[in-house]
Amino acid sequence: MLFKFKSILLIAAALAVAAHAQQPKPLIVSDSQPVRNDDSGQAFIINGDLKPLVTLGSARKGAISEPQQYSIFVGSGWSDPKLRDRETTLGSLLANVRDESTIEALHALGIKNQFGPTINAERADIEAGVFRDLDAQRLLATMIDSGALTRPNGKTVYVIFLDSTLQSTLGMLTAGKHYVAYHSAFNSSGMNIRYVVVPFESDAPRGYDIALRAFVAVATRPAQLAK
């Protein structure tokens, strides 16, 4: 009887150890290390602890000195008249930098021109729900192929701004929990397409800071993103 009781205890302990081993480990992500996007390529997140631009380091090899921002405002929520001024500001991130220390940081990172051409487009037809990284890539490829967006050149960065009805995901990561924005790149029809995805942020000034941080990050890290 004692042997049977000990056997039961050993089995229970083994099951407990196995259950603990099977528990998913918490995701630890950093905006300085790449993560996997939906097509097994690299992506870089911007986490909620927004660091000053100077923390990106000195000018990187391949930095885009005159980045061109092509913005796509996705979701019907952007049709709200209350968001028009905000949309205008987000559509020209660099041109709306006023702080001298930030301007100096941009120059130190290799960005010499804040006033490159910008293009804004809207896609109000995207329905509410989950917006995966693959959805971002398909949207860009489709719009470029159809002529709705200008084809990229060596200076182009596409910025996708999601409305409040769209939940961004990046592989196993979820916006709001693991990141506040991310940037990546993919190849399509002979084009290397650099892009940023910016989930909706209710606080407008913080939303601008997030988008600017992500835009500058991709403009200063283009070489590492090519697949």
Closest CA to 198 of 184, 213, 211, 216: 211
Specify the pLDDT at position 62: 60
Specify the pLDDT at position 18: 44
Contact 181, 47 (CB under 8 A): no
Contact 43, 36 (CB under 8 A): yes
Instruction: Report pLDDT digits (tens) over 63-101.
Output: 888 999 999 999 999 999 999 999 999 999 999 999 898
Q: Would the pLDDT of 15 be above 50?
A: no
Continuous segment of H or E residues that includes residue 186: strand 181-188
Continuous segment of H or E residues that includes residue 211: helix 204-219
Please provide residue 144's backbone torsions phi and psi, each rounded to the nearest 5 degrees: -70, -45
Structure tokens at 141: 């490829």
Specify the pLDDT at position 189: 86
Q: Rounded to whole angstroms, how far apart are CA atoms 111 and 217? A: 11
Task: Calculate the CA dihedral of residues 67, 216, 95, 87 and round it to 10 degrees.
Answer: 100
Q: Classify domain 29-225 at the CATH topology level.
A: Molybdenum Cofactor Biosythetic Enzyme; Chain A (3.40.980)
Specify the pLDDT at position 3: 46
Domain boundaries, the chain: 29-225
Instruction: Report pLDDT digits (tens) over 30-53.
Output: 456 788 888 888 899 998 888 777
Q: Would the pLDDT of 117 be above 80?
A: yes
For residue 26, what pLDDT band results from cuts at 50, 70 and 90? very low
Please provide residue 203's backbone torsions phi and psi, each rounded to the nearest 5 degrees: -85, 110
Continuous segment of H or E residues that includes residue 192: strand 191-198
Specify the pLDDT at position 108: 85
Specify the pLDDT at position 50: 82
Q: Which residue has the tokens 């000034």?
A: 205
Specify the pLDDT at position 63: 80
SS (H, E, C) 28-67: CCCCCCCEECCCCCEEEEECCCCCCHHHHCCCCCCCCCCC
Instruction: Report pLDDT digits (tens) over 197-216.
Output: 999 999 999 999 999 999 99
Q: Would the pLDDT of 60 be above 90?
A: no
Q: Rounded to whole angstroms, how far apart are CA atoms 162 and 187? A: 22
pTM of the full structure:
0.83
Burial of 33 per CB tally in 10 Å (0-12, 13-18, 19+): exposed
